[in-house]
Structure 1
């Protein structure tokens, strides 16, 4: 059975904002990844590479799929090569012809499709970015682990990683470490009712 990991790593501001880290979406406060990552981005890249090496597959929403595909398809190097060859599953009701290597479109009910994918694959199924997809998976207790890289900035506005849920979602801290001089890596595992 696969394990769903919200990672890639998942970049987040101190106040939980995940929106437009590179500034490409036109969000007024976008571009915070490079602005506040500074000299730590090389160390961040090592975390991203380790994450990609450990992934069995990526699971993405359509917008994240298109963003990452445009960014990584033309590149080469260890991280690009890994992302371009790994299996990718994209949740979309309208995408007909995925144009990134080794991609499969999941068109049915998100919860059913991801539950089936989780049963079919072994290893980590990583959900990078894709916060809207992550909210759905979280609501249905399909995420097993959360890996965050916290950037040293409070944005005060923007889409946050977590939205409203129907119930509490307890987690257990599995690890923490500094990345460079200013970023913090946090690793949480979700605690399921039966295991409390």
Structure 2
């Protein structure tokens, strides 16, 4: 049986939206304000996570963001992302161009969890993360906390979310990032 792991870049105030500033939010672009050492450490963390995962689970909007950026890249991390199974939760896309991508309806996610063995990682995909948390399908949260306050934007935990979490690990990543890993209690 697989575990669903939500892996998110997140600000200190819980915002996951507009990390690169492309959406134009006033507090957006927080990902771009880290040091080169932080970026290198972050890339190492993300690459290792991809190597260990059995599949990627993403929402439609994240698919549309990630697919064109990764398809032409090379190197171990890109090769892994391009070759691994990707399940795209969507009701509107059916012709997915990114290799090994399969559209799945939201109600099929529980079946993926039963049918696969290992970690199914959710990157980005805030709406999908909300739905998975609401349906109690998440086993682990891996949060890379960025030293920024966005002030506004979509949060990983919307208002009204009440959950108990159990801290499994915490560590510094690079010079100013923190990796927090939680189990859902």
CA–CA distance in structure 1, aligned partners of residues 2 and 164 of structure 2? 20
What is the correspondence of 1:114-125 to structure 2 with a 5 Å cutoff?
114-125=109-120
TM (norm. structure 1) is 0.91
Q: Are 2:154 and 1:155 aligned?
A: no
What is the match of residue 96 of structure 2? 98
What is the correspondence of 1:1-196 to structure 2 with a 5 Å cutoff?
1-7=1-7, 10-107=8-105, 110=106, 112-165=107-160, 168-191=162-185
CA–CA distance in structure 2, aligned partners of residues 118 and 184 of structure 1? 28
3-state SS, counterpart of residue 96 of structure 2? coil
Residue pair 2:11, 2:147 contacting (<8 A) in 1 also: yes
RMSD over aligned Cα, in angstroms? 1.2
3-state SS, counterpart of residue 115 of structure 1? helix
CA–CA distance in structure 1, aligned partners of residues 160 and 109 of structure 2? 19
Residue pair 2:27, 2:149 contacting (<8 A) in 1 also: no
Q: CA deviation at 1:31?
A: 1.4
Could you tell which deviates more after superposition, 17-26 or 52-61?
Answer: 17-26
CA–CA distance in structure 2, aligned partners of residues 149 and 89 of structure 1? 23
CA–CA distance in structure 1, aligned partners of residues 159 and 129 of structure 2? 12
Residue pair 2:27, 2:151 contacting (<8 A) in 1 also: no
* Unmatched segments (≥5 aa) in structure 2: none
Q: CA deviation at 1:80?
A: 0.6
Count of residue pairs the alignment pairs up: 185
3-state SS, counterpart of residue 175 of structure 2? coil
Runs (4 or more) in structure 1 with deviation over 4 Å come to none
TM (norm. structure 2) is 0.96
Residue pair 1:37, 1:151 contacting (<8 A) in 2 also: no
3-state SS, counterpart of residue 67 of structure 2? helix
Q: CA deviation at 1:143?
A: 0.3
* Unmatched segments (≥5 aa) in structure 1: 192-196
3-state SS, counterpart of residue 134 of structure 1? helix
